[in-house]
Amino acid sequence: MRKLKNIMVTGGSGFVGTNFIRYIFDKTDFDGIIVNVDKLTYAGNPHNLIDIEKKFGTKRYFFKKVDICDYKNINKIFKQYNVDTIVHFAAESHVDRSIFGPRDFIETNIIGTFNLLELTREFWAGKEDVLFHHISTDEVYGSLGKNGYFSETTPYNPNSPYSASKASSDHLVRAYFQTYGIPVTLSNCSNNYGPYQFPEKLIPLMMLNMLEEKPLPVYGDGKNIRDWLFVDDHISAVWTILNKGKAGETYNIGGENEWENIKLVNVLCEKMALLTGKEKDYYKKLIEFVKDRPGHDRRYAINCDKIKNEIGWKQSVSFDEGLERTVQWYLINKLWAANIKNGSYRKWIDVNYNKRNISLQ
C-alpha cells in the first residue's frame, strides 16, 4: 500500500472530481491534505464542495482557482503543499463541445497535462512515494462493432477532437514514465453517471428536460451503445489504483453494463415517471430522434479483468440502484440544476471566488 499524504486533485470542482473529493473525506481513512486546483470553467462549480470546505478548510482541504496551463501558479502550489500525489481529472470533457470548438480541448487536455508533467519532472526527480495518476476515457480506443471489448492493449483510434486530445495526453503521461521515470498510472473509464453531472451529458440532460416537459433529443437511430458506471465505482477504482496500482500501468474501468441509448432513455423515462408520480409511459412521448453527432462512435464496451484480477477492484452499485440514486439526487437538488440553467451559479462563483483572487491566498 502506498502512503498518500499531499494530494493535488485537478478539476476537483467538476462532476467526477467533486465526487472523488467527497468520497475521500467521507468513505476512506485518508488523513492527509487535498489541494483542489480548478480553473472553474463552465463545468466547475465549487459550491458542490461547500460543506467539505467548511468542515476541512484551512487544515485539510484547499481550493485554488488556477488553470493547469499556468506554470507559475501550479509551481507555487507544488512547493507550498509539497505535493506527492496528483490525481488529474481536469479536462474539457464534452464531445459535442469539442466538435464545435476544439481549441480549449487541445489547450487544457494536451498542454495542461504536459505542464503538470513538466512540474513533476522538476520536483519529483529521484523522489520515491510520489505518483501521477492520469484519468482518461475509453473513447481513446475508438469504436467497436457488435462484438469485442476494449482492453489495455487495444490500439488507440480516437475519432473526436475530445478523444484525440485525451489520447494525446495519455501518450504524454506514458512517455514521461518511459523517458524520465516519473511514477505514473493511467485509467481509462467508460461513461459515468451520478450526482453533480453537468446537464449537458445524456442522463442529466434527459432528466431535466423531462421535468420541464421539453423534447428528449436522441441522436441518430439511438442504437449507439455505451457502458455505464456509477460514479462512485469509478472513484473506488481510482482509489484502488492510487493505493495499489503499479507504476507505468494502465487500468481499464467499466461497468460491464452496455445500453443502447434509446433503451436507456426509455428506462430513465420510466424511473422518472415512477418517482414523480406519473403513469409509466408519461415522459416517453417527449423522445425525439434528431440529427446524429458527427463521427458518433457506435459502441463502447470495456474489459476490466486487469483491475479486478491484479489489484482487486469490482463494481458495487447495480445499474438499477445507481439510476435510482441519481434520479433521486436530481429531484431533491432541483435548485442545483436551476442555478446552472439560469446562470446564477456563475454569479455566486464571481462573488465568492473570482473577486477574492483565490489563487493568491
Which of the residues are catalytic?
138-139, 162
Minimum CB separation from ligand TDX for residue 269, in Å? 14
Residue number with CB closer to ligand TDX (191 or 236):
191
Q: Interface residues for ligand TDX in 98-157 (CB under 6 A)? A: 137, 139
Minimum CB separation from ligand TDX for residue 211, in Å? 15
DSSP labels, 221-288: TS--EEEEEEHHHHHHHHHHHHHHPPTT-EEEE--S-EEEHHHHHHHHHHHHHHHTT--TTGGGGGEE
Minimum CB separation from ligand TDX for residue 229, in Å? 10
User: Which partner in ligand NAD, ligand TDX, none is near 112 (CB below 5 to 8 A by kind)?
Assistant: ligand NAD
Q: Which residue is nearest to ligand NAD (CB)?
A: 14
Q: Which residues would be at the binding site for ligand NAD (CB under 6 A)?
A: 10-11, 13-17, 38-41, 43-44, 67-69, 89-93, 108, 112, 135, 137, 166, 189, 191-192, 198
Site string for ligand TDX, 263-302 (x = CB under 6 A): ------------------------------x---------
User: Which partner in ligand NAD, ligand TDX, none is near 43 (CB below 5 to 8 A by kind)?
Assistant: ligand NAD
Residue number with CB closer to ligand NAD (193 or 283):
193
**Quick one: which of 346, 146, 216 has its CA closest to 355?**
346
Q: Interface residues for ligand TDX in 198-227 (CB under 6 A)? A: 201-202, 205, 217-219, 224, 226
DSSP labels, 40-77: --TT--GGGGHHHHHHHBTTTEEEE---TT-HHHHHHH
User: Which partner in ligand NAD, ligand TDX, none is near 185 (CB below 5 to 8 A by kind)?
Assistant: none
Q: What is the chain's alpha carbon radius of gyration, rounded to the nearest angstrom?
A: 20
Distance CA 176, CA 60 (A): 29
User: Which partner in ligand NAD, ligand TDX, none is near 95 (CB below 5 to 8 A by kind)?
Assistant: ligand TDX
Cβ atoms < 10 Å from Cβ of 85: 21
Return the beta strands (E) in the chain as ranges: 6-10, 33-37, 61-64, 85-88, 131-137, 184-189, 191-193, 216-219, 225-230, 250-253, 258-260, 287-290
Q: Using the rule CB under 6 A, which residue among 185, 240, 261, 359 binds ligand TDX?
A: 261
123 near 116, Cβ under 8 Å?
A: no
Minimum CB separation from ligand TDX for residue 178, in Å? 24
Minimum CB separation from ligand NAD for residue 127, in Å? 24
Cβ atoms < 10 Å from Cβ of 163: 26
128 near 2, Cβ under 8 Å?
A: no
Residue number with CB closer to ligand NAD (57 or 215):
57
Distance CA 321, CA 223 (A): 23
Residue number with CB closer to ligand TDX (52 or 87):
87
User: Which partner in ligand NAD, ligand TDX, none is near 235 (CB below 5 to 8 A by kind)?
Assistant: none
113 near 172, Cβ under 8 Å?
A: yes
Distance CA 13, CA 36 (A): 8
10 contacts ligand TDX (rule: CB under 6 A)? no
β-partners of residue 186 are: 134, 250
Binding site for ligand TDX (CB under 6 A): 93-95, 137, 139, 191, 201-202, 205, 217-219, 224, 226, 261, 293
